[in-house]
Structure 1
């Protein structure tokens, strides 16, 4: 029988790690991930992420749902779109998004990530 898996909002992640230097745009951002669940096919993951002030380049192959628990972030698309999100906001970053992830205030989010595999019928065209 499959059981329900709770995702506590107060779980602590691994030791904070620097964002890869080749992706950093501003600051010396650190991030921590506490992955709470991954499916057997390793395509779906969820947990808690924390990030410190700074900005870095992102390129999403996965779809990500986020609920910001604390802090403030700004997503700047390569198309010049700009979205600022604050604690309490929920949002989706679709696969194919490219741009800059900027943490304006130390942030903590609940995430659920789905990365389509080429053979599952949901891959990007």
Structure 2
């Protein structure tokens, strides 16, 4: 077992978020992800993610810690509360958050996600 270096070169997965039914609310966001770590059962993952502008329903049933390397995003909870994050900001989206991701300016982040799906 070795320490995971986020500067290592790893394969990139590309996805058009509109390919997931009923997820996109605005725009045509495109995502690129470099998975850097995953437990055997996939309950803990870490990597680097980039998204073009757009707004979509946030994924749920997970805790997600993010470090925004570049860009500008807004998280909007279902009660309408908005929080904005820019280059250099770090934040945690707790399990139970319901709302939207809104990428205002192409953004890149490092992330660590603990998934609770099926738990």
| Greater mean deviation of Cα atoms: 66-75 or 23-32 | 23-32
For these two proteins, the number of residue pairs brought into alignment is: 117
2:13 is matched with 14
Structure 2, unpaired ranges of 5+: none
Match for residue 66 of structure 2?
A: 66
Unaligned runs of 5+ in 1: 119-125
Change (3 A) 1:98 1:36: same
Between 88-97 and 6-15, report the one with greater CA deviation: 6-15
**1:56–1:102 contact (8 Å) kept in structure 2:** yes
> Which structure: greater strand fraction?
2
Provide the TM-score with structure 2 as the length reference: 0.88
1:4 aligns with 3
Counterparts of 1:12 and 1:51, CA distance in 2:
16
Partner residue of 1:24? 24
Q: Which runs of 4+ in 1 moved over 4 A?
A: 9-12
State the distance in 2 between where 1:99 and 1:84 align.
Answer: 14
C-alpha offsets along residues 19-71 of structure 1, whole Å, 9 cap, x if unaligned?
Answer: 42511111111111111100123211000011001101114201000000000
The two structures, once aligned, show a CA RMSD in angstroms of 1.8
Q: TM-score, normalised by structure 1?
A: 0.84
* Structure number with bigger Rg: 1
How far apart, CA to CA, are the structure 1 residues paired with 2:43 and 2:14?
A: 24
**1:62-96 Cα distance to aligned partner (Å, 9 max, x none):** 10000000000000000211100001000000011
Note if contact 2:29-2:54 (Cα within 8 Å) is conserved in structure 1.
yes
